[in-house]
Amino acid sequence: MYYKNLYIRDFGIFNNQNLDNISKNLVVIGGKNRAGKSTFLNLLRYLPYGLPQDNSIPPARNQYYIEAELEKENKSYNLILNGYSKPEVLDQNLKQHTAAQLFNHLDQLSYQQLFSISLDELQHLSKIAKGKKKEKRLFSILLGAGFSELTKVPELADKYYSNAKKIGGILGDPAVASFKPYYNEIKMAEEMRDQALLEIKEFNQKREELNQSQEKLKQTKAKLKNLEHTYFLLDLLKNNYSELEEIEEMEAELEKEAAGSINFDFDKSSQENNNKRGLADLLSFFKSKSKKIENQQQNEEVLKEKIKNYQLQKDKINNNLQALIIEMESLNSSWEKPLQELEKIETDLIQEQQLNQKLREYNQLTSEIKKIESDINDLESEIEEKKLQLNDIEFIMPKTILKRSYIIIALSVITLSASFFVDNNQIAYLAMIFALTAFIYYSSNYKSSRLNKERTDEIKNENQAKKKRQETLKEQLNSYLGQLTEIEADLENYALILGITGDNYLEFIDSYFREIKDKKRKYRELKVEERDNREKRKELEESLEQLNDLILNAAAYCSCEFNAAEEMNLLDKSQTLFKDFHRLVDIWNLSEEYLARKSQLEYTLKSSDKTKNALNEKNEEEDPYQSFISLYGDFTSITAVEERKKELSEQLNFFKEQKSSLEKIIITLKNRIDDLSSSSKIEKAQQKIDQAQNNLEKKARSYAVNKSVNFILKKLRSRMIEKAEKELLEPASEILSRISSQHYTDLETSADLDRSDFKVITKNGKVFNSVQQLSQGSLEQLFLAVRISRIREIKPALPLVLDDSLVNFDRSHLYNTAEIISNLASQHQIFILSCHPHLVSFISRITDSAQYWKLEEGKFKLSDQENLIDYLSY
């Protein structure tokens, strides 16, 4: 049974939520803390039985309302839960049912403890050995109904034993305990009666005659009974003669198939015994391996399909590898072994963002360097040009012009002063000429000289500034060149890591890196696929090895030759193996038919007390079937049986007449003896005997009942313990062994059933006599294994929900558990509620059939494994 659709209108954090087309196998619901996972667990837990009116579930906004569509045995059902009322169930024909009918009539506690597992409740079971009433109830749920009641059996058996001992002692001797008074009364009364009879001579004579007649009648009856049994057996043989012929033919054919050795030195009897032993060994082998043969027969087509899928996947991987090699060769033709070269490249040492940053920095620096070099050259040209301009400017320094003008003025003043002392107008004119000359010289040369000097100073200052700027640019250029050298070294290192040769790698290193990274990703995926396929091959080889071992084991008991061998490539020789298996199945089917028909005949012989008694009288040392076969062997045909019946019929008539005659004589003698023994003494003694015998018989019945009940209870307890350990704890041991990676190998109940505890054995032989000795993780693994084993027993399969119940498992044990749960999901719908991305990752690796849902703040959304893992990781 499984849920197809869920509509949650009002339940805790959930409001108007739909889960449509729910997978009937594995459903993974991932959500962070307080997303609603535990609320969803409570919803599925209480949905079949109604909601509790306490604080164990979150409150509704208005009124609880849930609808579910389920499918069970190809029939659809609608379950509606409204408020605190019991759920209403309608089938596709609108016929009303109860939820108990859908859920296998499991009581609420059993369903909730087995099919809704949370971490808190798994840890809570660590108290199971402490004797609390609730925990003992859980222990009973885990081991199956009625098993916990076995703790009362020893006390009850002792009670019946004590009652029997009080009545008849240890051995039931009539002369002890409660038997003794009645036994003594009988002895005394018999003595009284015998004494009275001895007093009458005729009584003794008649009694002797009566005894002789009774003995003769007894012998006659015995002969008659023997003849009647023989006649009855012959009639039974006649009716079953054809059936026996067919059984014997099948037995002969099986003896031919059995591996009994043929030795010509043996006589016929010894060879028959040898054949019988071979047949017994073959049948014993088939009985011990019947379950395995059935399983192999059921899984044959699945195994063939898996082998086919493995070969297809192997070819696909090889083709993809060849395609990848071709791509790698086209990417770098210098590689002789592309895949080995690809593995050597450690792309993890290079971050794509860092590589792109280096390339951007390299391009920026290259551009800056070119610009700076251009600026330096431009400045150099400008400096040279300014130098040429300086060379073109010729002028007299303003100071020199001033000095010369002052000298001329001084001469003018001196001349003018001389004119005062010498009366000569020409000297005055000369002074004026000097003064005029000084003025003209100054006016015509000083201003231009000053302007030329300012221009020259300006050019010189500009040159100085340009030279300073040139030096700054050169320093900046050297800095950039140093940075460029470092970046080139880094890029060259990246090229070396990527296996790039040549000088022009900077043009394509980024795209080359992306190509290499993509190829490594493809190669890793192919290696993962190849590893998974190897695991599949290993699993297939293990399955085929089991089949091969089964055939090899059968070969030791069969005379036919099988092609299977201990040393052979099982996968490549699978067709040969299946052919051998079909031959083995034919023999097994023949043995099953032989045993079934033989068993039916044995049941027919044993079901009738008359038949059993007749066969036991024929031969007490043989069982009824062998005795009947011996009788069959005494006759060569059914005609011989009919002739012997006719002879016996005549003998029966003779002895019946003789019996009738003796009975008349005995009646006459008894009547005469009654007349002789009618005295009150004899009558009184007989009354005492009868009364004491009646009382003793009552005590004997009570003693027999108590002893029988004591014996039955002991046998019942032993068989039930053996059955529980075989049917539940052996599968649970196997599951625990798989979860713990074969650390724990065996699981048993405690020797004292009152403790409600388990005993765990490791592969090294270490014994944990109580679950209290286990770690928390091991304890949770144990009870999860027992739960899963118990869940497998319950048919039809019911939905299972786990709420982060694997959080205390380490990664390897968690992976093993995820594999077991994934396998269980092929028969059960399983909801896994978790906030752990690594659990989702494990499940996605193990199975492709899981369905993924994201749960966020009470909102369900269909997802896939990658998005769900990303969501849970951040």
Note the pLDDT tens digit of each residue in 689-710: 677 667 767 767 776 777 677 7
pLDDT-wise least confident of 169-173, 414-418, 821-825: 169-173
Confidence at residue 518, expressed as pLDDT on a 0 to 100 scale: 72
Q: Where in the chain is the domain with CATH 1.10.287?
A: 352-497
Band the pLDDT of 423: cuts 50, 70, 90: low
Contact 782, 733 (CB under 8 A): no
Distance separating alpha carbons of residues 233 and 237, to the nearest angstrom:
6
Average pLDDT over residues 760-789: 82
Q: Please name the amino acid found at residue 434.
A: F
Band the pLDDT of 500: cuts 50, 70, 90: low
Confidence at residue 831, expressed as pLDDT on a 0 to 100 scale: 95
Band the pLDDT of 722: cuts 50, 70, 90: low
Q: What is the mean pLDDT of the chain?
A: 77
Band the pLDDT of 28: cuts 50, 70, 90: very high
Question: What Cα–Cα distance (Å) separates residue 479 from each residue in 364, 368, 376, 483, 490?
Answer: 14, 11, 15, 6, 17
Q: How many other β-carbons are positioned within 10 Å of the β-carbon of residue 120? A: 11
Asked if pLDDT for residue 149 goes beyond 60, the answer is no
Top mean-pLDDT range of 86-90, 328-332, 692-696: 86-90
Beta strands in 12-46 (DSSP E): 14-19, 26-31
Confidence at residue 704, expressed as pLDDT on a 0 to 100 scale: 73
Confidence at residue 850, expressed as pLDDT on a 0 to 100 scale: 94
Asked if pLDDT for residue 170 goes beyond 70, the answer is no
Band the pLDDT of 861: cuts 50, 70, 90: very high
Where is pLDDT greater, at 610 or 535? 535
Confidence at residue 789, expressed as pLDDT on a 0 to 100 scale: 85
The first and second tokens of residue 690, run together, are 């009868």
pLDDT tens readout for residues 507-530: 556 566 667 677 777 877 888 888
pLDDT tens readout for residues 303-313: 888 888 888 88
pLDDT-wise least confident of 747-761, 779-793, 814-828: 747-761
Alpha carbon of residue 511 to chain centroid: 45
Confidence at residue 5, expressed as pLDDT on a 0 to 100 scale: 95
Confidence at residue 12, expressed as pLDDT on a 0 to 100 scale: 92
Nearest to 651 by CA among 223, 235, 216, 222: 223
Phi (first) and psi of residue 508, to 5 degrees: -135, 5
Percent pLDDT > 90 in the chain is 16
The first and second tokens of residue 579, run together, are 């052919």
Confidence at residue 837, expressed as pLDDT on a 0 to 100 scale: 92
Contact 758, 747 (CB under 8 A): yes
Instruction: Give the CA count within 13 Å in the CB-facing half-sphere of 273.
Output: 5
Where is pLDDT greater, at 652 or 833? 833
Band the pLDDT of 349: cuts 50, 70, 90: low
Band the pLDDT of 274: cuts 50, 70, 90: confident
Contact 254, 589 (CB under 8 A): no
The first and second tokens of residue 864, run together, are 């896939």
Average pLDDT over residues 153-168: 68
Residue 34 φ/ψ region, left for φ over 0, alpha for ψ in the -120 to 50 degree band, beta for the rest: left
Where is pLDDT greater, at 24 or 757? 24
Band the pLDDT of 332: cuts 50, 70, 90: low
Confidence at residue 141, expressed as pLDDT on a 0 to 100 scale: 45
Confidence at residue 146, expressed as pLDDT on a 0 to 100 scale: 38
pLDDT tens readout for residues 45-70: 999 999 998 888 999 999 999 999 99
Q: Where in the chain is the domain with CATH 3.40.50.300?
A: 22-49+107-149+725-873
Instruction: Give the CA count within 13 Å in the CB-facing half-sphere of 482.
Output: 6
Band the pLDDT of 105: cuts 50, 70, 90: confident
Where is pLDDT greater, at 863 or 202? 863
**Long-range contacts of 225-231, Cβ-Cβ distance < 8 Å, separation of 24 or more:** 225/617, 226/617, 227/648, 227/651, 227/652, 227/655, 228/652, 229/613, 229/614, 229/617, 229/618, 230/614, 230/618, 230/648, 231/645, 231/648, 231/649, 231/652
Asked if pLDDT for residue 685 goes beyond 80, the answer is no
Confidence at residue 264, expressed as pLDDT on a 0 to 100 scale: 42
Nearest to 69 by CA among 54, 80, 58: 80
Q: How many other β-carbons are positioned within 10 Å of the β-carbon of residue 310? A: 17
Band the pLDDT of 449: cuts 50, 70, 90: low
Confidence at residue 82, expressed as pLDDT on a 0 to 100 scale: 94
pLDDT tens readout for residues 605-661: 777 777 777 777 766 666 777 777 777 777 878 888 888 888 888 888 888 888 888
Average pLDDT over residues 657-685: 76
Band the pLDDT of 754: cuts 50, 70, 90: very low
Band the pLDDT of 825: cuts 50, 70, 90: very high
Question: What Cα–Cα distance (Å) separates residue 260 from each residue in 253, 551, 573?
Answer: 12, 17, 29
Burial of 615 (0-12, 13-18, 19+ CB in 10 A): buried
β-sheet bridge partners, residue 18:
7
Following DSSP, what letter does each residue of 822-838 receive, concatenated? HHHTTTS-EEEEES-HH
Confidence at residue 369, expressed as pLDDT on a 0 to 100 scale: 78
Where is pLDDT greater, at 553 or 499? 553
Helix (H) and strand (E) counts for the chain? Answer: 24, 15
Instruction: Calculate ∠ Cα 654-657-663, nearest 5°.
Output: 140
Quickly name the fold that domain 22-49+107-149+725-873 has.
Rossmann fold (3.40.50)
Following DSSP, what letter does each residue of 318-368 receive, concatenated? HHHHHHHHHHHHHH-TT-SSHHHHHHH--GGG--HHHHHHHHHHHHHHHHH
Burial of 657 (0-12, 13-18, 19+ CB in 10 A): exposed
Confidence at residue 681, expressed as pLDDT on a 0 to 100 scale: 63
Average pLDDT over residues 207-218: 85
The first and second tokens of residue 703, run together, are 């003693």
Band the pLDDT of 117: cuts 50, 70, 90: confident
CATH 1.10.287 fits 352-497, yes or no: yes
Confidence at residue 129, expressed as pLDDT on a 0 to 100 scale: 41
Average pLDDT over residues 102-125: 76
Radius of gyration of the chain (CA): 56
